[in-house]
Amino acid sequence: MVIPLPSPATTTEAISRATYAARPFGTDLFLRAALLLTLDLAHQTLRFAPSLAQKQVPARP
């Protein structure tokens, strides 16, 4: 009995389905997470930078 090998198209389709199943939120989840992290860091910097600047000791004349 000879078992037929799957065609390359079928194999590629199966791999892409398995890849998507492993990443249910899509391929750009990393980019979304990086964008949210960048925006959060920018927000925190803008929020806390003035308070850090107020704590500096003035220079002596």
Looking at residue 36, what is its pLDDT?
A: 85
Looking at residue 52, what is its pLDDT?
A: 60
CA geometry: angle at 37 spanning 36 and 42, to 5°?
A: 100
CA distance linking residue 15 with residue 7, whole number of Å:
12
Residue 47 lies in a domain: yes
Residue 5 lies in a domain: no
Residue 6 lies in a domain: no
Residue 4 lies in a domain: no
Number of domains in the chain: 1
CA distance linking residue 5 with residue 40, whole number of Å:
50
Domain that holds residue 44: 26-54
Taking only the tens place, the pLDDT of each residue in 8-57 is 556 667 666 666 665 656 667 777 788 888 888 888 777 776 666 566 66
pTM of the model: 0.39
